[in-house]
Amino acid sequence: AVVSTQSTGEMINKVKDSGANLAICQWGFDDEANHLCLQNDLPAVRWVGGPEIELIAIATGGRIVPRFSELTSDKLGFAGSVREIGFGTTKDRMLVIEECHNSRAVTLFLRGSNSMIVAEAKRSIWDAMCVIRNLVRDNRIVYGGGSNEISAAISVYDAADKNSSIEQYAMRAFGEALESVPMALAENSGLSPFSTLAEVKSRQIKEGNPRLGIDCMDKGESDMRVQHVIETLIGKKQQIMLATQLVRMILKIDDVRSPGEGEE
């Protein structure tokens, strides 16, 4: 026990000699080591998960050191404040590390009255982060509110009128499929889907404005640029391509089996 105490004391001295004033451990340490850290005025977090300690290293600019012999001052991270807070009716505790070296590292803390609301908030945050990711990959945008689908459908209809082969029917069907998006938006907004689509479509053709879409919020303005309703181009392309590939896959099926067939 004496040897173990001396060894733990040497490790604590190596941490303090490097200039560190807080130690965070991934694999944990026993009560005796915790007591020695307290005696030597070295605050310590006795257990942090693997993903969490990696995020802490990124945020503070520190290095994860597997051995005490490798600990040097240039591997230390920096944080202006480390504190513990309690929240909720159960007084759950959380360690908050603020004013980090890498200010771009952010932790989102979601709270709600029940688990369903928290899960929905997590999905909303995830969707928002995916939008930002798509903008980083490709910063081109299209206007929403069904305006881009209506504009694309008009172009498809024009191309179908110029095609004299049987393919014109498939092209018109593709245009009708594009129009299902603004029709769904109008119906979900309590508007008449057919009359609303016909009105916006005629205005796009008459005014030559492809930004006109469904006024879902009833603001009296159909220009999606004015309403600041946008979508990422890469996301819209993926949606249309995925839907098209699904339809092509279904059309390749030339044999239909009914329930109970082949059981005899």
Helix (H) or strand (E) holding 62: none
Ranges of residues in the chain with a pLDDT under 70 are 1-6, 88-90, 103, 105, 254-264
What does the pLDDT read at residue 260?
Answer: 62
What the block records as the tokens of 4 is 């173990």
What does the pLDDT read at residue 1?
Answer: 43
Q: How far is CA 93 from CA 51, 83, 122, 219, in A?
A: 19, 10, 20, 45
Q: What is the pLDDT of residues 146-192, one digit of tens each?
A: 999 999 999 999 999 998 888 899 899 999 999 999 999 999 998 89
What does the pLDDT read at residue 4?
Answer: 55
3-class state of residue 230 by DSSP: strand
Query: What pTM did the predictor assign?
Result: 0.60
What does the pLDDT read at residue 115?
Answer: 86
What the block records as the tokens of 173 is 């069907």
